[in-house]
A and B are shown apart, each in its own frame.
Chain A
Amino acid sequence: MATFLDLKNISKRFGGVQALTDVDLSLEAGEVHCLVGENGSGKSTLIKIISGVQPPEAGGTITIEGRSYTQLNPVESTRAGIQVIYQDLSLFPNLTVAENIAVGQHLGGFRSVDWTTIRKIAEAAMARINVYFDLDAKVEDLSIANRQLVAICRAMAADAKLVIMDEPTASLTRHEVDALLSLVRELKKKNICIVFVSHRLDEVLEVAERVTVLRDGKKVGTYDAKDVNDKKLAVLMTGKEFSYDLKETDLKSRKTVLSVKNLSRKGDFKNISFDLREGEILGITGLLGSGRTELALSLFGMNPPDEGEITLNDKPLALKSNREAIDNGIAYVSEDRLTLGLVLEQPIAANATVTILDKLKGAMGLIPLNAREATVDRWVKDLSIKVSNTANPVKTLSGGNQQRVVLAKWMATTPRVLILDSPTVGVDILAKDGIYEIVRGLAQKGVAVIMISDEIPEVLYHSHRILVMRNGRLTGEFEPHRSSEDQLRIAVNA
C-alpha cells in the first residue's frame, strides 16, 4: 500500500500550552485508521493541522503523496484531497441535498450559478457511494444518518482521498452505525483512506486496521486493531488501570424502594414491571427510541403513564409533575445536561442549589447566602468537583465536572431514587470513572439508582442488574457476572 499522508515531528503550542509534541503519523491509501485519545490529548489539534486550519510549529513536515509541506492552508489541504467531516456535519439545513453536496461550487468571487452542473456533481457523488436522495429535498428534512451520508457525498464531490470523520457514530442508532461501517468498507475499496476520531471504541474497532493513541499531546503508539480491545485502549489513553467490575452483592434482603407494575404509555412503552431495592444500581439499556428515556420521565412525573402502578416505599404513587417527584425523593439527571440540566452562564453555586431553593429559603422568602454556600461546599467536596471558585459560571468547567455539578444539584435534594440518563455522554474515560465511583458511593449509602445508557460496557460493569428495553418493552434481564458484552449487544439489537 502506498502512503498517502506522512506527518513527522509535528508539534503545536497555544500560548504556554503544549498541545502536541513531536507526533509522527502515517496514513496509507485505502486504510481505515482510528485516532483515539482523551479530551485534550491533541486529536482535534492534529486534525486542524492536517486540514490546514492551524499551522504546526517549525521543524515538522507534512508529506502528502510524496510532496512535502511545512504547513498547509485549507485550500491546499482540500486540493490535496483531504476532507474533514465534523461531528456537527457542517451542512446547511436550509439548502437542498444537491446544493449541500456541491457547495464547493459556490466558493470564490462573484459569478453566476450553474444549477445544471451542481445537480450533475451531486448525482455523480451519490452514485459513487451508491446512495440516492431527492436532489431537491432540504437537508433539514433528512434523518441524522442520511445527513451524514450527504456529508460523505460532499467529501466525494470534492474528490477526497482522505476522509477524517470526527465522532461519526455519536448520534446514530446501531443499525445506522452498521450501514456507515459497511459504507466505510466500500470507500476503502476505492483506495480512500478513512480516519475515525471516536471514543466509541468498540464500534470503530470493527472496521479499523490500525489505531493510533494520543495522550497529553504525545503519541503513545500505533497498534494493529486486532491486537487491542477497548479495555486495553482505555489503559493506553489514560495511562491508568481501571477496576471495572462492581462487586457481586446480594441485594435480595434489601428493602424494595420503588416498584413498577404493568406500566404502559401509548406510543412510548408497554407493560413495564420491575422492583428497585435500596442500594441497588439497576442498569437499563436499549437503542435510541426504545422507550428508555420516556420510562424515566414517567417515573419522574413528567410523562404520565396511561396504565399501571408505581409504588414508592410501599405507598402508591401517582405523580402529576416533576415537583411532586422531587418532593417524594426521586431525582432525574437528564441525558442532555447542557440544555436541560444546567444553566451554563450561571454560577456553579446557583446551579447546584437550584433544586432546593425552597429548603434554603429563610425569612421573607430570601435565600441566606451562607446556608447556600455551606450546601455547595459540602457537595463540591463530596463529589470532588474541581472548581477554583463556585461563583464562576458552570460553562468554565470541563464536561466531567459539569456532570458532577448536575449530580450535586440532585444529591442536594437527598433523593431515595436517583435516575441517571446517559450519565457519561461526552465525558472522558477518567472523568467517567469518577462518576461511576460517585454512583457506587451513593448506592452504598442506600440510594437506589437507575442508570440508563446505550453504552453496553457502562451498564455491564457498573450495575448490579441489567434490564434490556426494546420497542417499548422490557425484553430481558441480565446478571452482569454471568453475561458478556456480546450477549447484551445481541439482546439490544435483536
Chain B
Amino acid sequence: MHESRADLFQRLKRRHEFWLASVIAILVIFLSVATQGFLTLQNFFDLLTSYAFLGILAAGLLVVLISGGIDISFTATASIAQYITMLLANKYGLDWFSVFALAILVGVLLGAINAILIDRLQISSIIVSIATLNIFYGLLVFVTGGKYIYSLPSWFGKGIYWFEYVDADEISYGLNLQILALLVMFTITWLLLNRTNIGRQIYALGGNREAAQRLGFNVFRLNILVYCYMGLTAGVASLIQAQLAQSVAPTVLVGKELDVLAAVVLGGASLAGGVGTVLGTVLGLALLAIMQNGLILIGVSSYWSQFFVGLVILLSVSATALSARRKRKGNLVE
C-alpha cells in the first residue's frame, strides 16, 4: 500500500521520538545562534566523549526498563568493575582485550546477583537494586578505604584514537575509545532488541508478564539476560570512564544513576515496562547533553543545570501522559 505524506506525518506525530527530535532541533538552532562555541566539530566530539559513560549505561538500563524491571545498582557495579580491573591491570600488566573481558565479567556476575534475587525471591527490582547498590558500594569503600588509583598502565592512559584529524588550530578529533564504545554498545543493544527473538521476548515480558509465561517464555532466563546485560554495559562504561578520567575513584560514579535514568525516561521508556527504543534513548541522552552543555555555554550557573533537567523531565512526562489521556478519550468516542 502506498502511504501518502499526510499519513506518514500522522504516524510520526504519534511517536515520542518525533517530538524529542523536534525539541532537540529547536534547541540546537537556538544555541547555534546564541553562542559561539556550540556548533563546532570540537564541541560535538567533546560532548560525545564525555557523555559516552552515561550513554552506555543508558543502553543497558533501557533493556532493563523494557523488561518491566529497574536497576539502580549499576553505578556501584561499574565502580567495582573499574577498581578490580585497574588494580589487576597494574599488577599483572593486562592488555586491552583482557581488561574489557575482566570488567565485563565482574559486571555480569554482579548483574546475575540482582537477577537471581529479583526472580527467585520475587522481590520488586527497585528494592533489590537499592539494597545491592548499598551493599556493593559499601563493600567497595570498606575494602578500598576509598583510596584512588592514580597511576594507570601507560597503554591504557594513552587510550585509542582512530581516524585522527588535526585542524588548522591544531585541535585533534577522531574516533576515540569513548565514542567507539558508545557506538558499539548502542548498535549491539539495537540488534538485541529488534533483531533477535530474545529481544522481542524482553518486550513481550515487559508488556504482559503472565501472557509471556503462559506462552512458554523462560522468564528466569530472560531476567538473567537482562540484568547481566546491564552489568555488561556497566563494565564497559566503567573502563571508558576510567580512561577519560585517567584515574579510578571508588566514590565518583555512585550518584550518576539518576542521570542515566533521566536520559532513558526522557527517551520515552516507561517504568511500567514494554516501552522504549534505542533511538529514543539516544535522543533522550542528546537532549540531556545539549541542555547541560548549552546552559554552560550561555553562561548560566551550573547549579541551574539540575533544575532545568528536572523541569524538562517533568514537561516531557506530562506531555506523554496528556497525549495518552487524549488517546484514551478518543477511543471512548469511537
Contact of A110 among B196, B206, B334 (CB under 8 A): B196
Q: Which residues of A contact B208 (CB under 8 A)?
A: 90-93
Separation of A251 and B327 alpha carbons in the complex (Å): 47
Separation of A337 and B196 alpha carbons in the complex (Å): 42
Contact of B203 among A75, A95, A143 (CB under 8 A): A95
A280 interface hit (Cβ, 8 Å):
no
Q: Which residues of A contact B201 (CB under 8 A)?
A: 106
B301 interface hit (Cβ, 8 Å):
no
Contact of B196 among A94, A99, A111, A141 (CB under 8 A): A111
A363 interface hit (Cβ, 8 Å):
no
> Interface digits, B215-227 against A, CB 8 Å rule (1 contact, 0 not)?
1110000000000
Q: In the bound complex, do residue B275 and residue A110 qualify as a contact, i.e. CB atoms below 8 Å apart?
A: no
A15 interface hit (Cβ, 8 Å):
no
Q: In the bound complex, do residue A92 and residue B211 qualify as a contact, i.e. CB atoms below 8 Å apart?
A: yes
Q: Which residues of B contact A93 (CB under 8 A)?
A: 207-208, 274
Separation of A314 and B5 alpha carbons in the complex (Å): 62
Contact of B331 among A74, A99, A105, A143 (CB under 8 A): A143
Nearest CB in chain B: distance from A58 CB, A:
25
Are A141 and B211 CB-contacts (below 8 A) given A75-B216, A95-B203, A113-B196?
A: no
Q: In the bound complex, do residue B207 and residue A94 qualify as a contact, i.e. CB atoms below 8 Å apart?
A: yes
| B-facing residues in A110-134 (Cβ within 8 Å) | 110-113
Contact of B197 among A90, A94, A113 (CB under 8 A): A113
Q: In the bound complex, do residue A103 and residue B204 qualify as a contact, i.e. CB atoms below 8 Å apart?
A: yes
Q: Which residues of A contact B195 (CB under 8 A)?
A: 112-113
Interface of B is mostly: helix
B46 interface hit (Cβ, 8 Å):
no
Q: In the bound complex, do residue A107 and residue B207 qualify as a contact, i.e. CB atoms below 8 Å apart?
A: no
Nearest CB in chain A: distance from B196 CB, A:
6
Separation of A95 and B212 alpha carbons in the complex (Å): 12
Q: Which residues of B contact A75 (CB under 8 A)?
A: 216
Separation of A86 and B208 alpha carbons in the complex (Å): 13
Separation of A108 and B216 alpha carbons in the complex (Å): 9
> Interface digits, B164-207 against A, CB 8 Å rule (1 contact, 0 not)?
00000000000000000000000000000011111111011011
Separation of A113 and B198 alpha carbons in the complex (Å): 9
Are A95 and B198 CB-contacts (below 8 A) given A103-B215, A107-B217?
A: no
Chain A contributes a number of interface residues (CB within 8 A of B) equal to 23
Nearest CB in chain B: distance from A117 CB, A:
12
Contact of B200 among A74, A90, A106 (CB under 8 A): A106
Separation of A143 and B212 alpha carbons in the complex (Å): 21
Q: Which residues of A contact B275 (CB under 8 A)?
A: 94
Q: Which residues of A contact B207 (CB under 8 A)?
A: 92-95
| Chain B interface residue bracket vs A | 20 to 34
Are A112 and B196 CB-contacts (below 8 A) given A93-B207, A141-B331?
A: yes
Among B197, B203, B210, B331, chain A packs the most CB atoms within 10 A around the CB of: B197
Q: In the bound complex, do residue B197 and residue A108 qualify as a contact, i.e. CB atoms below 8 Å apart?
A: yes
A104 interface hit (Cβ, 8 Å):
yes
> Interface digits, B149-171 against A, CB 8 Å rule (1 contact, 0 not)?
00000000000000000000000
Separation of A423 and B211 alpha carbons in the complex (Å): 29
B91 interface hit (Cβ, 8 Å):
no
Q: In the bound complex, do residue B216 and residue A107 qualify as a contact, i.e. CB atoms below 8 Å apart?
A: yes
Separation of A331 and B246 alpha carbons in the complex (Å): 70
Contact of B204 among A86, A88, A92, A143 (CB under 8 A): A92
Q: Which residues of A contact B211 (CB under 8 A)?
A: 88, 90-92
Q: Which residues of A contact B210 (CB under 8 A)?
A: 88, 90
Among A74, A91, A92, A108, chain B packs the most CB atoms within 10 A around the CB of: A92
Q: Which residues of A contact B197 (CB under 8 A)?
A: 105-108, 110-113
Q: Which residues of A contact B331 (CB under 8 A)?
A: 141, 143
Q: In the bound complex, do residue B215 and residue A104 qualify as a contact, i.e. CB atoms below 8 Å apart?
A: yes
B120 interface hit (Cβ, 8 Å):
no
Separation of A99 and B274 alpha carbons in the complex (Å): 14
Separation of A137 and B269 alpha carbons in the complex (Å): 19
Separation of A9 and B275 alpha carbons in the complex (Å): 46
Nearest CB in chain A: distance from B235 CB, A:
21
Q: Which residues of B contact A113 (CB under 8 A)?
A: 194-197, 199-200
Separation of A494 and B214 alpha carbons in the complex (Å): 40
Separation of A86 and B213 alpha carbons in the complex (Å): 13
Separation of A103 and B207 alpha carbons in the complex (Å): 13
Separation of A110 and B274 alpha carbons in the complex (Å): 19
Nearest CB in chain A: distance from B194 CB, A:
8
> Interface digits, B268-296 against A, CB 8 Å rule (1 contact, 0 not)?
00000011000000000000000000000
Query: Which single residue of chain A is at the shortest CB-CB distance from B198?
Result: A110
Q: Which residues of A contact B196 (CB under 8 A)?
A: 110-113
Q: In the bound complex, do residue B214 and residue A90 qualify as a contact, i.e. CB atoms below 8 Å apart?
A: yes
Q: In the bound complex, do residue A107 and residue B206 qualify as a contact, i.e. CB atoms below 8 Å apart?
A: no
Separation of A330 and B156 alpha carbons in the complex (Å): 77
Nearest CB in chain B: distance from A473 CB, A:
18
Separation of A228 and B201 alpha carbons in the complex (Å): 45
Nearest CB in chain A: distance from B169 CB, A:
46
Query: Which single residue of chain A is at the shortest CB-CB distance from B11?
Result: A136
Q: Which residues of B contact A91 (CB under 8 A)?
A: 208, 211
Are A92 and B217 CB-contacts (below 8 A) given A106-B197, A113-B197, A143-B331?
A: no
Q: Which residues of B contact A107 (CB under 8 A)?
A: 197, 215-217
Q: Which residues of A contact B204 (CB under 8 A)?
A: 92, 95, 103, 106
Separation of A95 and B199 alpha carbons in the complex (Å): 12
Separation of A132 and B195 alpha carbons in the complex (Å): 26
Among A75, A94, A103, A111, chain B packs the most CB atoms within 10 A around the CB of: A94
Q: In the bound complex, do residue A99 and residue B200 qualify as a contact, i.e. CB atoms below 8 Å apart?
A: yes
Nearest CB in chain A: distance from B21 CB, A:
20
> Interface digits, A68-107 against B, CB 8 Å rule (1 contact, 0 not)?
0000001100000000001010111111000100011111
Query: Which single residue of chain A is at the shortest CB-CB distance from B275?
Result: A94
> Interface digits, B316-329 against A, CB 8 Å rule (1 contact, 0 not)?
00000000000100
> Interface digits, B137-157 against A, CB 8 Å rule (1 contact, 0 not)?
000000000000000000000
Separation of A91 and B214 alpha carbons in the complex (Å): 11
Nearest CB in chain A: distance from B168 CB, A:
46
Separation of A110 and B202 alpha carbons in the complex (Å): 12
> Interface digits, A44-85 against B, CB 8 Å rule (1 contact, 0 not)?
000000000000000000000000000000110000000000
Separation of A99 and B327 alpha carbons in the complex (Å): 22
Q: In the bound complex, do residue B334 and residue A143 qualify as a contact, i.e. CB atoms below 8 Å apart?
A: yes
Q: In the bound complex, do residue A86 and residue B214 qualify as a contact, i.e. CB atoms below 8 Å apart?
A: yes
Nearest CB in chain A: distance from B137 CB, A:
33
Nearest CB in chain A: distance from B332 CB, A:
8
Q: Which residues of B contact A141 (CB under 8 A)?
A: 327, 331
Separation of A440 and B274 alpha carbons in the complex (Å): 48
Q: Which residues of A contact B214 (CB under 8 A)?
A: 86, 90
Q: In the bound complex, do residue A94 and residue B215 qualify as a contact, i.e. CB atoms below 8 Å apart?
A: no
Q: Which residues of A contact B274 (CB under 8 A)?
A: 92-95
Separation of A106 and B210 alpha carbons in the complex (Å): 16
Query: Which single residue of chain B is at the shortest CB-CB distance from A75?
Result: B216
Q: Can you name 12 A-B pairs with beta carbons within 8 Å?
A: A91-B208, A92-B203, A92-B212, A94-B275, A105-B197, A106-B200, A106-B204, A110-B198, A111-B197, A113-B195, A113-B197, A113-B200
| The 8 nearest A-B residue pairs measured at CB | A94-B274, A90-B211, A94-B207, A92-B207, A106-B197, A106-B200, A92-B204, A92-B208
Which chain A residues have a beta carbon within 8 Å of chain B's beta carbons? 74-75, 86, 88, 90-95, 99, 103-108, 110-113, 141, 143
Apart from A95-B203, A112-B197, what are 10 other A-B pairs with CB-CB below 8 Å? A92-B204, A93-B208, A105-B197, A107-B197, A107-B217, A111-B197, A112-B195, A113-B194, A141-B327, A141-B331
